[in-house]
Amino acid sequence: MADVEFSIKGHVAHVRLNRPQGLNAITQEMDDLLFDAWSTINTNPDIWCAVLSAEGEKGFCIGADVSGGAERKVRMALGGGLTGIGGPLVTLRKPLIAAVQGFCVGGGFELAMCADIIVAAETAQFGLPETKVGIIGECGVVHRAMRQLPHHIAMGMILTGERIKADVAERFGLVNEVVPFADLSQAAQKWADKINAASPLANQAAKAAALGRLGHPLEVALMTRFEEIEQYAESQDKREGELAGAERRKPVWTGR
């Protein structure tokens, strides 16, 4: 079995970290496999959304595998650059759901924060242990935490290395739903089904617009023309939505 499993079921791509004996710490080989997965998801029009999960109850991912001790010839870019750590930033254009359990710390925490939806098992714990163990390098996880959590909560985690549990993460809006570990996979699939009930091209255009001007003033975002939205206006899905509305039926999306 590969340390990163990739499969497609219907219109959903499933990316699964499969190195539970190492708490799914990301090796260089896994990094390459993840890059291949993200690239396939971005370029395959029949993939409408993706679910990122991990094998084993103890840990979703504890970040980069540093057990070897040797310096890497290629700097780690967790998620194939999805997080932008030491490598080119790869933006996933399709909606991404992260199903998180156990330890979700360091680069693993950042990988989860790259998702659009986070479903957490009751066992999940989120943390930034870097400063606690005297390590600080590329700060992708720090920057994302500051943007996805209240200021003082994020700073408390950054400066102490202490973890927060799933129910606390939900209270602060970091995760969308908390479920028993046994229900984690099913909960993630339900989110995928709800996402795919919408037009896939409209979802991709909406994600591009929502994130594309996130760091800009509202006035700038309101004045921006988004290429993805303009392309959607000429799509088959746009016409299908109008026709379905006129005929009072559910639309049948094609992603074209």
Of 5, 130, 170, 234, the active-site residue reads 130
Distance in angstroms (rounded) separating the CA atoms of residues 137 and 195: 35
Which residue among the candidates 57, 71, 110, 162 is catalytic per the annotation? 110
pLDDT for residue 65: 86
Whole-number Cα distances in Å, 209 to 12, 90, 223, 234: 22, 16, 12, 17
Per-residue pLDDT of the chain (256 residues; tens, 9 = 90+): 799 999 999 999 999 999 999 999 998 888 889 989 999 999 999 999 999 999 999 999 998 887 765 445 554 555 556 766 556 678 899 999 999 999 999 989 999 999 999 999 999 999 998 888 877 766 778 888 999 999 999 999 999 999 999 999 999 999 999 999 999 999 999 999 999 999 999 999 999 999 998 889 999 999 999 999 999 999 999 999 999 999 999 999 999 9
> Is 110 annotated as catalytic?
yes
**What does the angle CA 20 – CA 21 – CA 27 come to, to the nearest 5 degrees?**
80
What are the sequence ranges of the domains in the chain? 4-196, 199-247
Measure the CA angle with vertex 102, ends 175 and 121; round to 5°.
45
Residues facing residue 5 across a β-bridge: 16
Report yes or no on whether pTM surpasses 0.75. Answer: yes
As a whole number of Å, the end-to-end CA separation of the chain is: 34
Predicted pLDDT at 1? 79
Residue 81 has a pLDDT of: 62
Is there a catalytic annotation at residue 57? no
Instruction: Please say whether the structural domain 4-196 has been given the CATH code 3.90.226.10.
Output: yes
**Contacts of 249 by beta carbon, 8 Å cutoff, 6+ apart:** none
Phi, psi values for residue 13, rounded to 5°: -90, 135
